Amino acid sequence: MDDLLHTPLHELHLELGARMVPFAGYAMPVQYPAGVLAEHRHCRAQAALFDVSHMGQIILGGRGAAEGLEALLPADVQGLAPGRQCYGFLTNADGGIDDDLMIANRGDHLFLVVNAARKASDLAHLQANLTGVEPVTDRALLALQGPGAEAALARLVPDVSALRFMDVAVLEWGDAALWISRSGYTGEDGFEISVPEAQALDLARTLLAQPEVAPAGLGARDSLRLEAGLCLYGHDIDAGTSPVEAGLAWAIRKCRRRGGSRAGGFTGAERILPELEHRPARRRVGLLPEGRAPMREGVALFDARGDGPPAGQITSGGFGPTLARPVAMGYLPAPLAQPGTTVRGDVRGKLLPARVVPLPFHTTTYRK
């Protein structure tokens, strides 16, 4: 732990009694004394504050920034209006996902938020292919999530109430310029807030003083995103996974597909465009294991008979507190990926049944 990086909120985590763990090179809170289950339920019912300062923040400026970025990913960046944000993924020559990210149009530049474990390689990739790429190294990043998030943040920054899902804005809190997006990674309404490092502790303490807000760690963040059917890089998606088989084709707009105004032209299009039209051989699915035994990452999946070689594998799984039952995601061949299909997972040598279901497990509550 002594060799790990610290976020600007490290002191606060220790003060709050967090259990710290290594994550992407940082010492991060996995849970607080209330425990993962309580933190998860508090986020669903009120509001939870997460420290996500380990993630990468990048500015992409200059003329042609949107056009240049579109050569590296299949998102509609040129059509992104000022004050709006979209989800995207950097693809490789084989059509796999090198990282997923958020892209915000801040008027005269783009603002990107990338995964912590990939931020160094993402930055190098962007700088090798584009101009005007600068890492943001003097700001923390907080995520305030849950149905009470708007009320809590609006007491500090009233104008956030005007934002809708995937809106972005620069709003003032005292002498700090907050870069706020109405988005998150829990399936709940909420905000991600980039704050100058010097004001990060004060902002976090002020938010935690609001009656709705409690701290939450990586454990609750993972169970919340799993219930929301959201991918975790390095688990549900990786350099060998195409966006289409991962169920992320919705993020590839019509203009980037065959026949569109800016069709193709992005890295990996040779694989991705045909998959959009003809469907891939495997697909990411939701699974509801029967009984109480969770099916976790790495569990091999078989057809309903349970004979023959493995047909697929669990990529994320655990207990879903909101559903009060195990939930999982994984990949299956297209014939087994239809909702209602029964498959079997090898849990400690026992082939236990699970049912394929649509994602998400828990209905999202984004403010649209």
CATH number of the structural domain spanning residue 15: 3.30.1360.120
Confidence of residue 307 (pLDDT cuts 50, 70, 90): confident
Q: Which of 227, 250, 273 is the last residue of a domain?
A: 227
What would the two tokens of residue 121 be?
């390689």
- What is the domain extent for residue 298? 281-368
Residue 220 maps to a domain: yes
Shared domain for 217 and 308, answered yes or no, is: no
- 278: helix, coil or strand? helix
Confidence of residue 352 (pLDDT cuts 50, 70, 90): very high
pLDDT tens per residue, range 162-199: 999 999 999 999 999 999 999 999 999 999 999 999 99
Shared domain for 44 and 176, answered yes or no, is: yes
> What's the mean per-residue pLDDT of the chain?
97
Residue 86 maps to a domain: no
pLDDT of 368 reads: 87
Shared domain for 141 and 47, answered yes or no, is: yes
The whole-angstrom separation of Cα 69 and Cα 74 is 9
The mean pLDDT of 78-95, rounded to a whole number, is 98
Residue 181 maps to a domain: yes
pLDDT tens per residue, range 47-58: 999 999 999 999
CB-based contact 57:155 (threshold 8 Å): no
- Phi, then psi, of 331 in degrees rounded to 5: -115, 135
In this structure, the number of other CB atoms found within 10 A of the CB of residue 284 comes to: 24
Residue 233 reports pLDDT greater than 90: yes
Q: Percent of the chain scored above 90 by pLDDT? A: 98
Shared domain for 38 and 145, answered yes or no, is: yes
What's the domain count of the chain?
Answer: 2
pLDDT tens per residue, range 9-28: 999 999 999 999 999 999 99
Residue 146 maps to a domain: yes
Shared domain for 312 and 187, answered yes or no, is: no
CB-based contact 160:150 (threshold 8 Å): yes
Residue 1 reports pLDDT greater than 80: no
Residue 232 maps to a domain: no
Residue 153 maps to a domain: yes
The whole-angstrom separation of Cα 154 and Cα 344 is 47
Shared domain for 213 and 334, answered yes or no, is: no
